[in-house]
């Protein structure tokens, strides 16, 4: 008889996992707290977007959705930097042809996944059913339906893909379950606010379309990603408190003055700046690490429920999708034995998600403080030259973003060593032209 599986959370990772398990022949029930986003009005090109890259694409390829998703993406070939008082410039993501990240609508991607899930006969979807806990000993999960009735669903295996405030993780923490469970939740000093740049009157893009725009200001920053309808989703990352902070932006005049001082080229592009600022919530940013991810070999958490990270490497969704492809590979190695895979999965995978969590924090400081710095720019230039000339050299950014088969922990270890060496080289020169690039390459080879 096939396994009966319950997946809690029909967001990005939960829906992908449900599809994969159903494709493997299991009887899958996918239950979501919210209403079906396909029946809601807001979804369109202007919903919030995310950077999708190779690890995420690999997982989508596994379920046969890569091509369809790519049709909904806008390639972003590099960072378009808007320095304070200076000329805009582009810093490519890679020195190699065809390497780019993709801007994709979160809602659009979720809809594609849900449609695929619904097309599978052995996958049942249920919406408007928040989970309020899991009985790990059975296992069985408890839900409230729209009418407020208590519903209990039992299964052979339960997967919690219910995001950073996971109810399944909460159940693992409860002491009566006799699980020795560690949890750390570290909030960043900064929060975020989503704003927007609408399309131009003719329907085109008001800035370079194929780039991720950054206004780095040392201490805070603004970023913008393109949407298919010509708009950009803009995000302000700013400290909670202090001289430049959310706390100081209390009135329309405060907001206008802050943006006019720090982002003067963005202000004319943002006619709804003040409405967006006060109409949209201020989001918190946290890194969540926990251990173990499984209980009794029957329940497993994954995606943000197991390892939420800050968004500065554009890897949270990619890592959550990669969770599913790594789980699938392990299931193959274990001849389809779910219990064995659930028991060993977290132990193997956590090293890599801890690494991307740390890299994402590093990138927060890089994007905010260093991308406009001349030493850092020289380093990026050398990295691009090295990638163009030497097929066996790959920068840290490329290892994380474009090397879908290299574990995050290995990318971090190797990338950090390379970074240290290259920053030393760049501090000692005033122009990249002074360097013999083949000498730099030889030095790099020594530390590999
Ligand atoms: P979620 O997407 O949070 O999905 C969880 C699902 O579970 C939701 O549908 C939710 O409604 C449901 N749910 C929650 N509680 C319950 C419950 N009790 N019962 C039933 N269902 C429940 N990642 C990238 O790769 N690239 C980016 O560019 C990027 N940018 C980001 C920008 C910002 C500002 C933020 C905050 C995050 C960003 N991320 C990015 C990270 C990415 O959003 C997450 O890593 C990703 O959404 C995780 O997917 P998930 O399915 O695990 O969780």
DSSP letters, 122-166, are TEEEE-S--EEEEETTTTEEEEE-TT--EEEEE-SEEEE---TT-
Give exposure, 2-11, as e/b (b: 16+ Cβ within 10 Å): ebebbbbbbb
52 pLDDT above the threshold of 60: yes
429 pLDDT above the threshold of 90: no
43 pLDDT above the threshold of 60: no
The total of other beta-carbon atoms located within 10 Å of residue 193's CB is 20
Mean of the pLDDT values across residues 354-369? 90
Q: 386: helix, coil or strand?
A: helix
Sign of the Cα pseudo-torsion (379, 383, 384, 385, in order): positive
Residues forming a β-bridge with 140: 135, 154
What is the residue with the minimal CA distance to atom 35 of ligand 1? 311
Pocket test for ligand 1, best of 12, 133, 307 (most atoms within 8 A of CB): 12
- Alpha carbon 403 to its chain centroid, in Å, reads 16
23, 301, 361 from 355: Cα distances, Å: 30, 18, 10
Residues 128, 37: Cα–Cα separation, whole Å:
11
Strand 157-160 to 299-301 pairing: parallel
Residues 57, 49: Cα–Cα separation, whole Å:
16
End-to-end CA distance of the chain: 49
Residues 348, 239: Cα–Cα separation, whole Å:
35
Mean of the pLDDT values across residues 204-221? 95
Q: 422: helix, coil or strand?
A: helix
Cα–ligand 1 centroid distance for 148 (angstroms): 25
Cα–ligand 1 centroid distance for 106 (angstroms): 9
Q: 42: helix, coil or strand?
A: coil
45 pLDDT above the threshold of 50: no
286 pLDDT above the threshold of 70: yes
Maximum CA pair distance of the chain? 72
Find, among 277, 276, 279, 244, the residue nearest to 261 by Cα: 244
Question: What angle, rounded to 10 degrees, do the helices at 338-365 and 316-333 form?
Answer: 150
Mean of the pLDDT values across residues 231-251? 97
Torsional class of 242: left (φ above 0), alpha (ψ -120 to 50), beta (otherwise)? left
Two structure tokens written together for 406: 């290299």
Q: 392: helix, coil or strand?
A: coil
Residues 410, 224: Cα–Cα separation, whole Å:
30
Cβ–ligand 1 distance for 303 under 6 Å, the answer: yes
Strand intervals (E) in 253-372:
282-291, 294-295, 299-301
Cβ–ligand 1 distance for 167 under 6 Å, the answer: yes
57, 84, 215, 377, 440 from 89: Cα distances, Å: 28, 12, 11, 11, 25
CB 232 within 8 A of CB 226: yes
Mean of the pLDDT values across residues 79-106? 94
Cα–ligand 1 centroid distance for 316 (angstroms): 8
Q: Which pLDDT band holds residue 153 (cuts at 50, 70, 90)? A: very high
CB 1 within 8 A of CB 338: no
Q: Give the per-residue pLDDT at 1.
A: 61
Q: pTM of this prediction?
A: 0.96
383 pLDDT above the threshold of 50: yes
Mean of the pLDDT values across residues 68-80? 97
The total of other beta-carbon atoms located within 10 Å of residue 318's CB is 27
> Which has more confidence, 43 or 263?
263
Mean of the pLDDT values across residues 116-128? 98
Give exposure, 206-221, as e/b (b: 16+ Cβ within 10 Å): bbbbebbbbbbbebbb
Tell me what the pLDDT averaged over the chain comes to: 94
DSSP secondary structure code for residue 177 in this structure: G
Q: Give the per-residue pLDDT at 370.
A: 76
Cα–ligand 1 centroid distance for 307 (angstroms): 11
220 pLDDT above the threshold of 70: yes
Q: Which pLDDT band holds residue 42 (cuts at 50, 70, 90)? A: low
46 pLDDT above the threshold of 50: no
323 pLDDT above the threshold of 80: yes
- Span 192-206, pLDDT tens digits: 999 999 999 999 999
DSSP 229-262: TS-EEEEEEEESSSSSBGGG--SHHHHHHHHHHH
Mean of the pLDDT values across residues 294-300? 95
The answer to whether the bond into 111 is cis (omega within 30° of 0) is no
What is the residue with the minimal CA distance to atom 34 of ligand 1? 311
What are the two backbone dihedrals, phi and then psi, of residue 93, each rounded to the nearest 5 degrees? -80, -25
Q: Which pLDDT band holds residue 2 (cuts at 50, 70, 90)? A: confident
Share of the chain above pLDDT 70, in %: 98
Cβ–ligand 1 distance for 9 under 6 Å, the answer: yes
Cβ–ligand 1 distance for 95 under 6 Å, the answer: no
Cα–ligand 1 centroid distance for 259 (angstroms): 29
Pocket test for ligand 1, best of 317, 327, 397 (most atoms within 8 A of CB): 317
- Span 162-180, pLDDT tens digits: 999 999 999 999 877 678 9
CB 103 within 8 A of CB 95: no
- Span 57-72, pLDDT tens digits: 999 999 999 999 999 9
Q: Give the per-residue pLDDT at 77.
A: 97
328 pLDDT above the threshold of 60: yes
Cβ–ligand 1 distance for 131 under 6 Å, the answer: yes
Rg (CA), the chain: 23
Q: Give the per-residue pLDDT at 24.
A: 98
Place of tokens 């405060």: 254
Find, among 125, 132, 169, the residue nearest to 28 by Cα: 125
Mean of the pLDDT values across residues 415-422? 94
């Amino acid at each position: 008889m096939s396994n009966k599986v319950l997946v809690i959370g029909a967001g990005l990772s939960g829906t992908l996992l449900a599809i994969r398990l159903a494709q493997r022949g299991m009887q899958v029930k996918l239950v979501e707290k919210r209403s079906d986003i396909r029946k809601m009005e807001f979804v369109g090109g202007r919903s919030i977007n995310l950077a999708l890259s190779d690890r995420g694409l690999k997982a989508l390829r596994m379920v046969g959705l890569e091509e369809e998703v790519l049709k909904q993406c806008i390639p972003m070939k590099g960072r378009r930097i808007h320095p304070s008082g200076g000329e805009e410039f582009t810093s490519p993501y890679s020195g190699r042809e065809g390497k780019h990240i993709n801007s994709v609508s979160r809602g659009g991607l979720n809809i594609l996944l849900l449609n695929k899930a619904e097309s599978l006969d052995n996958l049942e979807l249920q919406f408007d059913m928040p989970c309020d806990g899991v009985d790990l000993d059975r296992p069985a999960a408890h839900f409230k339906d729209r009418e407020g009735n208590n519903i209990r669903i039992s299964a052979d295996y339960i997967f919690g893909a219910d995001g950073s405030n996971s109810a399944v993780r909460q159940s693992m923490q409860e002491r009566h379950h006799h699980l020795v469970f560690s949890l750390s939740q570290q909030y960043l000093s900064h929060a975020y606010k989503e704003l927007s740049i609408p399309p131009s009157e003719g329907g085109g893009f008001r800035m370079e379309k194929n780039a991720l725009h950054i206004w780095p200001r040392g201490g805070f920053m603004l970023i913008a990603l393109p949407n298919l309808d010509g708009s950009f989703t803009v995000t302000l990352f700013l400290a909670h408190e202090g001289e430049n902070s959310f706390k100081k932006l209390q009135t329309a005049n405060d907001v206008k003055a802050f943006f006019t001082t720090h982002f003067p080229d963005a202000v004319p592009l943002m006619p709804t700046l003040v409405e967006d600022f006060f109409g949209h919530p201020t989001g918190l940013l946290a890194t969540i690490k926990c251990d173990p991810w499984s209980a009794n070999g029957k329940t497993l958490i994954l995606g943000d429920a197991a390892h939420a990270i800050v968004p500065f490497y554009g890897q949270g969704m990619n890592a959550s999708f990669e969770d599913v492809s790594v789980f699938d590979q392990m299931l193959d190695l274990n001849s389809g034995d779910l219990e064995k895979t659930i028991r060993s999965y977290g132990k193997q995978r956590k090293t890599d998600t801890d690494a991307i969590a740390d890299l994402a924090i590093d990138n927060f400081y890089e994007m905010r403080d260093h991308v406009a710095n001349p030493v850092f720019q020289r380093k990026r230039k050398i990295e691009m030259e090295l990638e163009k000339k030497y097929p066996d050299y790959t920068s840290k950014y490329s290892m994380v973003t474009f090397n879908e088969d290299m574990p995050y922990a290995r990318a971090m270890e190797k990338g950090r060593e390379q970074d240290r060496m290259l920053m030393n080289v760049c501090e000692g020169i005033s122009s990249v032209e002074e360097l013999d690039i083949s000498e730099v390459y030889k030095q790099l080879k020594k530390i590999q």
